[in-house]
Chains A and B, each alone.
Chain A
Amino acid sequence: MLRWASHSLLILLTVPILLGTLIAILPAFGYFPTLGSTEFSLDAWRELIQIPGITRSIQISLLSGVLTPLIALALVFLYLASASGSKLDNWIRRLVSPLLSFPHAAAAFGLAFLIAPSGLLSRLISPGLSGWERPPDLLIVNDTWGLTLLFGLIVKEVPFLLLMSLAALPQLQPSKHVELARSLGYRPTIAWLKVIAPSLYPLIRLPVIAVIVFASATVDVALILGPTLPPTLSVRVLAWFNDADLNLRFLAAAGAILQLGTSLLAITIWLCLEKLSAILWRFWVATGDRGTGERLVFSLGRGAMPIVLLVVSGSLAALLVNAFAGPWRYPSALPASWTLLHWTSDFQNLLTPLLNTLLISVGSTFLALVLVIATLESERQSGKLRSTATWLLYLPLLVPQIVFLFGLIVLTESMQWQGTMSLVIFGHFLFVLPYVFLSLSEAYRQLDPRWSQVASTLGASPLKSFWRIRIPLLLAPCLTAIAIGMAISISLFLPTQLLGAGRITTITSEAVALSSGASRNLIAVWAVVQLSLPMLGFLAALTVPRLIWRNRTGMREIR
Chain B
Amino acid sequence: MSEPKLELDKVSITLNGKQLLTVDSSVGPGEVLTIMGPSGSGKSSLLAYIAGFLAPVFEASGGVFVNGDDLTTLPAERRRVGLLFQDPLLFPHLSIAGNLRFAIDDRSADKATLIRQGLDEVGLGGFEERDPGTLSGGQESRIALLRLLLSSPNAVLLDEPFSKLDSQLREEMRTLVFTKLRASGLPSILVTHDQADADSAGGEIITLEQ
A451 touches B82 (CB 8 A): no
Least CB separation from A463: chain B residue: B77
B92 touches A454 (CB 8 A): no
B78 neighbours in A (Cβ, 8 Å)? 459
A453 neighbours in B (Cβ, 8 Å)? 51, 53, 76, 83
CB distance from B170 to the nearest CB of A (A): 21
CB distance from A488 to the nearest CB of B (A): 28
CB distance from B118 to the nearest CB of A (A): 14
Which of A384, A457, A468, A552 has its CB near the most chain B CB atoms (within 10 A)? Answer: A457
Q: Which residues of A (444-468) have their CB < 8 Å from a CB of B?
A: 449-451, 453-462, 465, 468
CB distance from A545 to the nearest CB of B (A): 10
The stretch of B12-20, B21-29, B120-128, B130-138 in contact with A is B130-138
A384 touches B52 (CB 8 A): no
A347 neighbours in B (Cβ, 8 Å)? none
A459 touches B53 (CB 8 A): no
Complex CA gap A456/B50 in Å reads: 13
Task: Among B56, B77, B80, B82, point to the contact of A460 (Cβ < 8 A).
Answer: B77
B83 neighbours in A (Cβ, 8 Å)? 453-454, 457
Complex CA gap A473/B85 in Å reads: 19
CB distance from B140 to the nearest CB of A (A): 10
Which of B102, B134, B147 has its CB near the most chain A CB atoms (within 10 A)? Answer: B102
B77 touches A456 (CB 8 A): yes
Known: A454-B83, A472-B93. A460 touches B134 (CB 8 A): no
- Asked whether B103 is an interface residue with its Cβ less than 8 Å from the other chain, the reply is yes
Least CB separation from A383: chain B residue: B56
Known: A469-B91, A552-B131, A554-B92. A458 touches B76 (CB 8 A): no
Least CB separation from B83: chain A residue: A457
- Asked whether A549 is an interface residue with its Cβ less than 8 Å from the other chain, the reply is yes
* Interface size grouping (class) on chain B: 20 to 34
B102 touches A455 (CB 8 A): yes
B92 touches A384 (CB 8 A): no
- Asked whether B151 is an interface residue with its Cβ less than 8 Å from the other chain, the reply is yes
B91 touches A451 (CB 8 A): yes
Least CB separation from A472: chain B residue: B93
- Asked whether A354 is an interface residue with its Cβ less than 8 Å from the other chain, the reply is no
B132 touches A554 (CB 8 A): yes
Q: Which residues of B (101-129) have their CB < 8 Å from a CB of A?
A: 102-103, 105
B89 touches A451 (CB 8 A): yes
- Asked whether B1 is an interface residue with its Cβ less than 8 Å from the other chain, the reply is no
Least CB separation from A471: chain B residue: B93
Least CB separation from A382: chain B residue: B56
Complex CA gap A455/B82 in Å reads: 10
B183 neighbours in A (Cβ, 8 Å)? none
B191 neighbours in A (Cβ, 8 Å)? none
- Asked whether A555 is an interface residue with its Cβ less than 8 Å from the other chain, the reply is yes
Complex CA gap A469/B85 in Å reads: 17
22 A-B contacts, Cβ less than 8 Å apart? Answer: A384-B56, A450-B87, A451-B89, A455-B102, A456-B51, A456-B53, A457-B151, A457-B153, A458-B103, A458-B148, A459-B77, A459-B78, A459-B80, A460-B102, A461-B77, A462-B77, A473-B92, A552-B131, A553-B133, A553-B134, A554-B131, A554-B133
Contacts A383-B56, A457-B77 supplied; 17 other A-B pairs, CB < 8 Å: A383-B55, A451-B89, A451-B91, A453-B83, A454-B91, A456-B76, A457-B81, A459-B105, A461-B77, A462-B75, A462-B77, A469-B91, A473-B92, A553-B133, A554-B92, A555-B92, A555-B93
Chain A residues packing against B (C-beta within 8 Å): 382-384, 449-451, 453-462, 465, 468-469, 472-473, 475, 549, 551-555, 557-558
Chain B residues packing against A (C-beta within 8 Å): 51-53, 55-56, 75-83, 85, 87, 89-93, 102-103, 105, 131-134, 147-148, 151, 153
Closest 10 CB pairs of A and B: A554-B92, A553-B133, A554-B133, A456-B76, A457-B83, A456-B77, A458-B103, A458-B151, A472-B93, A383-B56
